[in-house]
Amino acid sequence: MRKKHSNSVEPKPFNESIVGLIRDIGEDNGWLSRTPAPSVQLCILAMVILKTEVLSGHDEIIAAWKDQCRMYWLDDEYGVVANLRAKKAAAKKAPGRKQGNKQPTRQKA
């Protein structure tokens, strides 16, 4: 049976999508596989993570990130783990958001 890849078109929360993309690094199954090396793939995803407001799933993203860095003998030179920990702390303190690692409900203007 063929593995379902993270580049499916079904919309998902950011944290689920990025974890799937991180775990797919090095696999020959999507747009990231067209880049020359896993280190380049990690760099691309690092820039997305660093520039995105991450509201939930911080721990899952960190775990996936650390796994891939270990797999490819890389340091977290982009500061993704520290960035996600800071975003997690900020998300917990933000007014109008539930405690924990949950997405806030957004109201229409």
* pLDDT tens over the chain, length 109 residues: 444 555 557 889 999 999 999 998 877 766 666 667 888 889 999 999 999 999 999 999 999 999 999 998 888 889 999 999 999 999 988 876 554 444 555 554 4
Question: Taking the model in full, what pTM does it have?
Answer: 0.74
User: Which tokens go with 94?
Assistant: 């933000």
Cα 76 from chain centroid (whole Å): 14
Cα 42 from chain centroid (whole Å): 10
Q: Are 5 and 51 in contact (CB under 8 A)?
A: no
